[in-house]
Structure 1
């Protein structure tokens, strides 16, 4: 492998690492944006969890105008919920069909998973860069 090819591969790998870092930053920024929208027009309701797994929880709740709401994408921060559970949810009164979260949970819960994605992405990039460097060194020596 020539030095030029090696360098191009390493630049591409760094670009992948930067993209993974940007994805992690967007995850965190999006969570804070959603929280700020909820906090700006916050109301609280009792909701029933109609389905739940590790990454998704669907709920039903009634707003003060008597309308049954079921957020299309489920709750934000849905961990540790179980089907049939009754919980309090904060929701955005201007968009109750999209933005709802369990009371007491916020965007801080997105930081650890996002940083984990960034760290894992860079670990893979670094291992691949070392592999490319070693392969380049061996092929040029032979």
Structure 2
């Protein structure tokens, strides 16, 4: 079917379309982004089909998004532990105030306590107490507070930032146990 055609015509004689063969009977030269391999049957174009390239691009973008989300969530967990450590440091420097507090309210976002400092002032921090696990309304508990800001930072005595290590660590581990296999699968199927 491929015949030698004159310049500006196809092998079937249609003007304006490129010829299927050049004058010596060989196929036209490959485009720069085209990979052509010679076989017994003739030249074979090894470029991926446009749909395959689109699918591969989508998989790479999804893999990159998953790694980004995993990294951001891991960084948030690390920042949570650092924030707890900084709060503990503020309470402990120079010397923490100590008191017995009554648990006033236990709810999901916070646990509110009320305590009296040695100078007779009564405080009930609006942000609640740090590390409130296991507290119940009406319970009396020992607390430590920042003497410079007794209405801001208060924690249950004997508890510190190390309590946040287990939930933050398991969250990071869970994130990467999901992200790594998904990214591996996406990258593997993109090839």
TM-score (norm 2): 0.65
Give the alignment partner of residue 68 of structure 1, picking from 114, 122, 134: 122
- The answer to whether the 8 A contact 1:53-1:82 is kept is no
Instruction: Tell me the residue number matched to 1:48.
Output: 102
- How far residue 75 of structure 1 moved from its aligned partner, in angstroms, is 0.7
- How far residue 131 of structure 1 moved from its aligned partner, in angstroms, is 5.7
Give the alignment partner of residue 84 of structure 1, picking from 121, 133, 138: 138
TM-score (norm 1): 0.85
User: Displaced runs of 4+ in structure 1, greater than 4 A?
Assistant: 133-137
Q: Which stretches in structure 1 are left out of the alignment for 5+ residues?
A: 138-142
* Shift in alpha-carbon separation, 1:42–1:31, aligned structure 2, 3 A: same
* Superimposed CA distance per residue, residues 43-95 of structure 1 (whole angstroms, 9 cap, x where no aligned partner): 10110001224663210001122221011111100001111111110000111
- The answer to whether the 8 A contact 2:60-2:186 is kept is no
Aligned residues: 137
Give the alignment partner of residue 154 of structure 2, picking from 74, 89, 100: 100
Q: Which stretches in structure 2 are left out of the alignment for 5+ residues?
A: 1-53
- What's the C-alpha RMSD, in Å, of the aligned pairs? 2.0
Structure possessing the higher radius of gyration over alpha carbons: 2
1:105 alignment partner, SS class: coil
Instruction: Tell me the residue number matched to 1:13.
Output: 66
- The answer to whether the 8 A contact 2:60-2:190 is kept is no
Instruction: Tell me the residue number matched to 1:113.
Output: 167
- The answer to whether the 8 A contact 1:56-1:79 is kept is no
- The answer to whether the 8 A contact 1:54-1:78 is kept is no
Distance 1:61 1:84 in 2: 12
1:24 aligns with 2:77: yes
